[in-house]
Structure 1
Amino acid sequence: MKPLTTKLVTLGIVGLFFSFSGIIMCFFWPHVFYKILSNELPLTPRSRIFEIWKDTNEIPMNMEFYFFNWTNPEELKIPGKKPNFIEVGPYTFKEKIEKVNIVFHPENNTVSFDQRKFWYFDPEKSNGKLSDKIVHLNVVAVSAAHKVRYWSFFMQNSLSFMLDKLSGIHIVKTVDELLFTGYEDPLITMGQMAVDDGEEIPPYDRFGWFYLRNGSTMFDGHYNMATGEDNLNNLGVMKNWNYKDTTSYYKTPCNVVEGSAGEFWPPNRDAKEITIWTADLCRPVTYEYTGTVMHKGILGYQYAIGEKTLGNSTKRHYPHDQAKYFERTTTTEDFFDAKHSTTESNENIDDPDTINMGQCYCNGECSPMGVINITACRYGAPGFVSLPHFYKADPILREQVTGMKPNETKHSFYITLEPNTGVPLDVAARFQINILVQPSLSVALFRDVPKIYFPIFWFNLKSGTTENLAWSLRQLLIVPSAGLYGSVILAIVGAIIVIIIAVAIYVRKGPKKLILARRKVGAFNGKKSEAVYMDTTITDDEHDRSSPSLQLKIQTRNS
C-alpha cells in the first residue's frame, strides 16, 4: 500500500472513532453527570458542603421582625369597633445557625444533629430600636383563659378573679422584652403550680416570643435525616424528629414525620410540589410549584405556600395497605367524616383511603382559609400561623381588623431550587403569628370580646446563595451542556473527516479513460511496432498537426 493511501486510511479510522465516540457520549453523558452529582451532593464528613451545612457563617441570613402596634385597645368591647394596627419595623437581626451533636449513621445512611441559633441585632438595617414601646395583646392572659375553657366552673371563676386583679387585655412592652429578654407575669408562675400531673408545661419563667432561644438547642428538636449516600433521591429527607418518626400532636396519618429537613433536596427536580418538615409548626408544610425564575444568572423552580397548606380541603390518597393502619380519629374529630368548613365539595369523602389532610390538623375546630392551627404544638396556647397581613387568606380575617395590606411581593413565602442539582437558590421565609381571642362566659375579662384572629407580628427570613456559591454552581451546571455539545461536535468532526477521506480516495482512484497504444516490434508489413500508452482524457483535433492522434499515425507509418 502506497504511503499516501496509508495516511488516508489512518485518517478515516480516526474519523470513524470520533463519530462513534461522540454518538456514544451523547447517550451516556447524562449518566456521567449524575455520577458527578452522586459524588458531590451527598452529605458526608468529607464532602465539600459539610462545612457550609455545619455552620452558616458563609451564608448571609437576615431575620426581620415587624410588629403590629395596637392603637385602640380600649375599644375592643365596643360593638362595631375594629382593632386597628400600625406595622412598625423592621427590627433586623443577623441569624447564624450551627449544627451540633452531629452523628453519622453509616448503617442506614442518616445523620443526627441538633441546631443552635443565634440572633444579633443589626441597627443599620433596622427601622427602630429594641427599646421601642409596643402596645401588645396580653397573650399570657388569653392563653390562660383558653387553657381553662373546659375546666370546672369553680376553676374558671378563680382564674377570672385573678385576671381582674392582675391583668388587662393589653400590655405595653419593649421590642426587646417581647422578643428575647422576656417579661415576668404572675400567671406564668401560678400556671406552673396548677397543672395536672403528666401535663406538658412551658419551660419558661418569663414570656417572650424568642425567650431562651438565642444560643439554645432546645427548641428546634433533634433531627435525623438521610444523607443521600445510598440514593440521591433520599438526600435531606427527614427520618426522625425527637427520636421518633411520628409526633404526639396529631393522630395518624397527620402525625407522620416526613418531608425535607429544609436544606437539601434530591436533584432532577420536577414541577411538582415539595414538602418541608417545620419544627416550629410540628408538622410538614407543602409548597406548591409556581413557575421558573432567574436568580444570579441561574434558572430556578419556585415553590410557594398556597391552598394545600393554608386550606382545610386538601385531600391525600393513600394505598390501602397503608390506610388500613390509620387511626379513625384525630384529636377530637373523625377526619374521615369531617365536612369542609368553607366549601360544599366533599368528593371521595367516603373513600377510606382518602384523608382530608387540611381537617386532620384542625384540633377540633377548623379555621378559615389562611391560618394554620398550632395550638397542640404550643402547650395549648391559641396560636395560629398565617402569611403576613393574611395574604392568601379568607377575606373575613382582614375584615375583622384594620391595617392589613397584603402584598404578593412582600408577603409570599417561597423557596427557589435549581432543578438539576436541587440546590436552594433563594429563600424568603415569612410567617405571621396570630392569637385567637374569643368570648368567655366564665372569665369576665373576655366576656364581651368578639372572636378575632389577632395579628401580633410577622417575620421575614431572607437567605440564598452567595456570589461565590452561585459561580461554583454555574460552573457545575456547564458540565452537562458542555458534555452534550462536545459530544455532538466530536461526532460532526469525525463525520467530516470520513467524508473528506472518502472523496479523496474517490478522486485518486476514480475513472480515467486510458487508451493502450501498442508499438509492435515484429513483422507488420515489414515494420516494427511497440506499445505506447496515451492519455486520451483531453480531446484533440485529428487534423491538427500537433494533435497526439495525428502524431501517432505519422509515427506508425514511419515505422
Structure 2
Amino acid sequence: MNRLKCCFIAGSVIGAVACALGLILIPVGDSLVGNTVRKEAVLEEGTTAYENWISAGAPVYRQFWLFDVQNPLDVLKNGSIPELQQRGPYTYRTRYIPKENVTFYQNHTASFMLPSGAIFEPSISAGAEEDMVTSLNIAVAGVYNLLNHKVAEMMINMSNSSLFQTRTVKELLWGYRDPMLKAQLGVFYPYNGTYDGPYNVFTGKDDISKVSTIDSWNHMQTLSYWNDTYCDMINGTDGSSFSPFLKKKAPLYFFSSDICRSVSAEFEGSQDLKGITVYRYMLPENTFASPIDNPDNRCYCVNNETTRNCSVAGVLDVKACKGAPVLISLPHFLHGSKELLELVHGLNPNPEEHSTYLDVEPITGFTLRFAKRLQVNMMYGPSRDIKILNKVKEDTIFPILWLNETAALDDETADMIKAALFSRIDTLEAVQIALISAGAVLLVLSLIGVCVVSRRSSLSHVA
C-alpha cells in the first residue's frame, strides 16, 4: 500500500513539474521567437528581411485601365458631358530590377536607388499595346492650366491640336512626340531607365522598431512641396515592410513618391494568405477628403480654383511636386465629391475594386500582399480665348487612367516563411500544450490515487 502511495506521489510531482515546464516554455518560447524575428527582420546581408528587401520576392504588376471618350465631338460642339468607357487592364511587370547603389552606414542606415522598368505582359492583358484609345490631350490640358489662354490658343491653332486625341495605349502611357510642344509626352514618360530616390532608411540593427523607416528621400528629410511642417513630413516606410510585432490599433504610416506625401493605413481585419494569417490595412476614407471634413488636409489644398476653394473632396493637386497640372485621386473618384461623378459619365466607384490595401504579417512586419490603386486626372474648363473650349460648360476634372500596382506572396516564399518561422512557433506551442495537458492529467490522477490509497489505509487501520 505504501509503495503504491509513493508511486502516486511521484506521479503528482512529475505532473506538476511537466505543467510547470509547459508554463515556463511560454515566455521562453516567446523570447526565442522574438529574438529570431528581431534578428531576421534587420536589413543586413544574410537575413530574411534583406533578401526580400533587396529585390521584390514576388512579381509586381501594374495594371492600367484607360478611359476611352465615346463622344469627343459632342463635348466640343455641344458642351456635352463626356461619356467614358473603361478599357483594360493593360498589364506590365514592374520592380523586377533589384535596388541599386545600396550602401550601408555606421549610423545603422542604408541608402539605395529604386530603378524603374516596365515589361508588357500580353497574356494577362485585355488587349495589345497597339490598341487605340481616345483620351484627353494632355498637352492641351497642360497649356490650358499653365499658360495665358491667348498664348495657348495660338499654340493649339498652329499645331491643329484638339482637346481629345486618339493614340495607342503604349503612346499614352510611355510617350509620343507631341506636335504642339515638339517634345515627348506621356502619362508616365519618362519611366524605363529612370530612378526613384535616393532613399535612406534605418536598418533596425540598433532599434528594430525603426527598421525600414525612411530617414530621407531624394536627399530630403522633409518635403518642400506643401509649405507646411505637417504635410511636408516623410513618415513611416515605403510600405514594403514595417517593424515587427504589429498592434491592431496602431496605424501604419508609409510614404509614396507617386503622390508626394505620407499616408496612414488602419487595421481592417485578418485574412488567410496561403496558410499565413495577415492583417489587412486600408487607407481611411478621409485620406483625400476636403479640409472641411479633414482639417489635416488643409495644407494639401494649394489651388483654390481647382478644388472650389478647397471644398472638393477626393483629389490631390501634385503640380508642385510633379511640375505638371496633375490631380491624383482614388479610381473612379472613390470617396470623392458627388460633383466629380456628375461632370463625366461612365464611372462606378467600388470599394472592393478601387481601394488601396496592405496585407502585413503581424509578427515579422513583412507586407505579403498589396494593391496600390490610384487615378491620374487633369482639369479643363470653358474659355473665351481658346476656341475648342468655347462650348465647354463646366470646369471638369477629367480621369485619364487608373492603375493597380499589386503583388502577392507566392507558394515558394510562403513555404519558406512557414518553415523558417511558423514551424518553430507551432512546434513550441505543441510541446507547451503537450506538457501542460499531460502534466495536468497526470497530476490530477495521481492526487486522486493518493487520496484513494490514504482513505483505504485509514479504513484498514480502523478495522
TM-score of the pair, normalised by structure 1: 0.73
Change (3 A) 1:125 1:500: closer
1:262 aligns with 2:239: yes
Shift in CA distance, 508/86, structure 1 to aligned 2, threshold 3 Å: closer
Q: Which moved more, 1:471-480 or 1:415-424?
A: 471-480
2:302 to 351, 357, 363: 363
Residues 289 and 297, structure 2, Cα contact 8 Å, conserved in 1: yes
Aligned position for 2:369: 426
Asked if structure 1 preserves the Cα contact closer than 8 Å seen for 2:78 and 2:391, the reply is no
Whether the aligned pair in 2 keeps the contact of 1:98 and 1:117 (CA below 8 Å) is no
1:212-251 equivalent positions in 2, closer than 5 A: 212-217=190-195, 220-251=196-227
State which of 471, 478, 489 in structure 1 corresponds to 2:415.
Answer: 471
In the TM superposition, what is the alpha-carbon distance from 1:121 to its structure 2 partner?
Answer: 1.2
Partner amino acid, structure 1, of 2:206? D
CA positional deviation for 1:286: 2.5
Contact 2:4 2:453 (C-alpha < 8 Å) held by counterparts? no
Q: Deviations over 1:152-176 (max 9, x none)?
A: xxxx533331222212212221111
Cα–Cα, structure 1 residues 507 and 125, in superposed 2: closer, same or farther, change >3 Å? closer
Partner of 2:396: 452
Corresponding position of 1:439: 382
Cα distance change, pair 6–383 in 1 and its aligned pair in 2 (3 A): same
Q: Partner residue of 2:73?
A: 74
Corresponding residue for residue 265 of structure 2? 287
Q: Is the 8 A contact 1:310 1:370 kept in 2?
A: yes
1:318 maps to what in 2? Answer: none
Confirm whether residue 309 of structure 1 aligns to residue 287 of structure 2.
yes
Looking at structure 1, the residues matched to 156 and 58 of structure 2 have their Cα atoms a distance apart, in angstroms, of 46
CA displacement, residues 10-48 of structure 1 (integer Å, 9 cap, x when unaligned): 766654443332222234433332112111112111212
Structure 2 letter corresponding to 1:139: I
* Distance change >3 Å, CA 38–CA 47, structure 1 → 2: same
Residue equivalent to 1:323:
none
- The alpha-carbon distance between structure 1 residues 492 and 66, as it changes in their structure 2 partners (threshold 3 A), is closer
| Residue 376 of structure 1, CA deviation | 1.3
CA distance in 1, matches of 2:212, 2:49: 13
The alpha-carbon deviation at position 484 of structure 1 amounts to 4.1
Q: Is the 8 A contact 1:389 1:406 kept in 2?
A: yes
Letter in structure 2 aligned against 1:245: Q
SS at match of 2:33: helix
Aligned counterpart for 2:346 among listed residues 379, 403, 407: 403
In the TM superposition, what is the alpha-carbon distance from 1:279 to its structure 2 partner? 0.7
3-state SS, counterpart of residue 276 of structure 1: strand
Q: Between Structure 1 and Structure 2, how many residues are aligned?
A: 451
CA contact (8 A) 1:271 1:301 kept: no
The answer to whether 1:39 aligns with 2:39 is: yes
Task: Give the deviation of 1:230 after TM superposition.
Answer: 2.1
Q: Distance in 2 between matches of 1:101 and 1:3?
A: 75
Say which of 140, 143, 161 aligns to 2:154: 161
Contact preservation (8 Å) 1:306, 1:392: no
Max radius of gyration: which structure? 1
CA distance in structure 1 between the partners assigned to 2:222 and 2:399 by the alignment? 30
**Percent of residue pairs bearing the same amino acid type:** 29
Corresponding residue number in structure 2 for 1:185: 178
How much is the aligned-residue C-alpha RMSD, in angstroms?
A: 3.0
Cα distance in 1 for residues equivalent to 2:9 and 2:188 = 78
Q: Is the 8 A contact 1:312 1:357 kept in 2?
A: no
- Counterpart in 1 of 2:307? none
The residue that corresponds to 1:412 in the other structure is 355
For 2:334, the equivalent position in structure 1 comes to: 391
CA contact (8 A) 2:112 2:197 kept: no
Matches within 5 A, 1:1-80: 14-56=14-56, 58-78=57-77
Is residue 377 from structure 1 mapped to residue 321 from structure 2 by the alignment?
yes
| Structure 1: distance between partners of 2:354 and 2:257 | 21
- Contact 1:239/1:245 (<8 A) preserved: yes
1:170: which partner in 2?
164
Opposite residue 409 of structure 1, the aligned amino acid is: E
Q: For residues 391 and 266 of structure 2, what CA distance do their matches in structure 1 show?
A: 40
CA 183–11 in structure 1, closer or farther in 2 if over 3 Å, else same: same
- Residues 487-534 of structure 1: CA distance to partner in whole angstroms, max 9, x if unpaired? 2432343455555666667777887589xxxxxxxxxxxxxxxxxxxx
Q: Secondary structure at the match of 1:309?
A: coil
Moved more, 502-511 or 447-456: 502-511
Bigger mean CA deviation after superposition, 504-513 or 13-22? 504-513
Deviation per CA, 1:45-95, whole angstroms, max 9, x where unpaired?
121232332222x41222211111112222224556101111112212222
Q: What one-letter code is carried by the residue in structure 2 that aligns with 1:477? A: F
Of residues 208-217 and 424-433 in structure 1, the stretch that sits farther from structure 2 once superposed is 208-217
5+ residue gaps in structure 1? 150-155, 190-204, 314-339, 347-355, 515-535, 540-559
1:117 corresponding residue in structure 2 = 116
Letter aligned with residue 438 of structure 2: V
Tell me, in whole angstroms, the C-alpha distance in 2 between the residues paired with 1:170 and 1:500. Answer: 85
Q: Which residue of 2 aligns with 1:486?
A: 431
Q: Aligned letter for 2:156?
A: L
- Report the Cα distance in structure 1 between the residues aligned to 2:83 and 2:451, rounded to whole angstroms: 92
SS at match of 1:172: strand
CA–CA separation in structure 1 for the residues paired with 2:204 and 2:411: 26
